[in-house]
Amino acid sequence: MSLVLRVGPARAQWWLEHLQSLLPDIECRPWDDPGDPAAVRYAVVWKPPAGGLKRFPNLELIVSIGAGIDHVLADPELPQGIPIIRTTGDELTQRMREYVLMHVLRIHRQLPLVEAAQEKAEWLQIVIPPATGRTVGVMGLGNLGGDAARMLATVGFKVRGWSRSPKLIDGVSPFAGFNALEAFLSECEILVCLLPLTSETRGILNADLFAKLPAGASVINAARGEHLVEDDLLAALDSGHLKSATLDVFYEEPLPSKHPFWAHPKVLVTPHVASMIDPESGGKMIAANIQRFIAGEPIADLVDLEKGY
Ligand code: NAP
Ligand code: GLV
């Protein structure tokens, strides 16, 4: 009985060693050297290539090294009927909380203007409203978005949250479903996207949505590159309707060196690091979920494939 692991080469060995020490009864093997394919029962993966998982005829479980499972469902030859577990956890939530707070505050306190002024030795005193006078909207109120919205409300922002089903979070005005999207967007000066990528949310950050935001709004996308229609964002920034965009995720990762986002004065690029799962904390979550699966115990992170996230 074996487990096969696919993760970026830079961290593959670190992951393998951790998983092997946490799952001593299961042989943990790298994706490119899986041994006997018939022995592979568990696949722990990030962005498996098309057709990669169907190599294993006795696969019982797929584990996403990530909160999102879109990268697994993207495989057109994905073997059907195999449960998928996503990876969540306090560290993942904590890191995303830090990312969202840092970038919302950077925009709110106009840090790019302060830094530009320093370069010119200019004493620029900008009067900034307190957070209680600034509205931030969070799209997606799950583990990450729900936590981020709660945290922003605690800091003092006026917070709105948008989800599929209504969610009540202290200090967060709830909006649910596409019928409420326009009303949700109408006052969001800073919009944070933490949606899963599904057929309903692909391309949701588009010209139509940007037009519904107040003039001068900023967008933070820490969810998936495919949520964003890149040309629509560039047009909204270049027209001045949007003030700035902070992007952690992209259609193509790594973001190609010639991509216009890299040099755009209104875009901050971060390299998909908002909340990375590391082998120490993530490995523990993954190993515990695999052990629960083997024992037939309930698993909170088991994905509802009907919902698609
Ligand atoms: P989650 O717990 O599954 O929550 C998803 C939220 O989105 C839920 O509130 C859900 O509504 C809402 N939602 C789903 N479809 C919707 C729709 N059609 N309309 C409105 N709301 C919708 O997900 P999570 O763990 O918070 O993670 C969110 C995403 O963050 C992941 O899927 C991944 O893509 C991304 N992520 C990025 C990084 C990074 O480093 N950049 C790290 C981790 C995760 P309901 O509450 O009604 O179900
Ligand atoms: C990272 O992007 C994740 O889905 O956890």
Distances (CA, A) of 229 to 205, 233, 234, 240: 6, 6, 9, 17
> How many Å lie between the centroid of ligand 2 and the Cα of residue 276?
7
Which pLDDT tens digit goes with each residue over 121-174?
999 999 999 999 999 999 999 999 999 999 999 999 999 999 999 999 999 999
Q: Is the pTM of this model over 0.85?
A: yes
Which pLDDT tens digit goes with each residue over 241-253?
999 999 999 999 9
Ligand showing the shortest atom-to-Cα distance for residue 103: 1
Residue-level pLDDT at 132: 98
200 within ligand 1 shell (Cβ under 6 A): yes
Instruction: State the average pLDDT over residues 256-278.
Output: 97
> How many Å lie between the centroid of ligand 1 and the Cα of residue 163?
9
Which pLDDT tens digit goes with each residue over 86-99?
999 999 999 999 99
141 within ligand 1 shell (Cβ under 6 A): yes
Residue-level pLDDT at 84: 98
> How many Å lie between the centroid of ligand 1 and the Cα of residue 176?
14
Residue-level pLDDT at 115: 97
Choose one of 275, 285, 309 to mutate for the ligand 2 pocket test, by most ligand atoms within 8 angstroms of C-beta.
275
Residue nearest ligand 2's atom 5 by CA? 66
Choose one of 73, 90, 96, 144 to mutate for the ligand 1 pocket test, by most ligand atoms within 8 angstroms of C-beta.
144
Q: Where are the beta strands (DSSP E) in the chain?
A: 2-6, 27-30, 40-45, 61-64, 84-85, 135-139, 158-163, 172-176, 190-193, 217-221, 242-247, 267-269
Residue-level pLDDT at 25: 97
Q: At what angle do helices 281-295 and 90-108 cross, to 10 degrees?
A: 140
86 within ligand 1 shell (Cβ under 6 A): no
Measured from the Cα of 145, ligand 1's closest atom is 26
Distance CA 16, CA 283 (A): 9
**Active-site amino acid positions:** 224, 272
Percent of the chain with pLDDT over 70: 100
Which pLDDT tens digit goes with each residue over 194-237?
999 999 999 999 999 999 999 999 999 999 999 999 999 999 99
Residue nearest ligand 1's atom 45 by CA? 164
> How many Å lie between the centroid of ligand 2 and the Cα of residue 248?
11
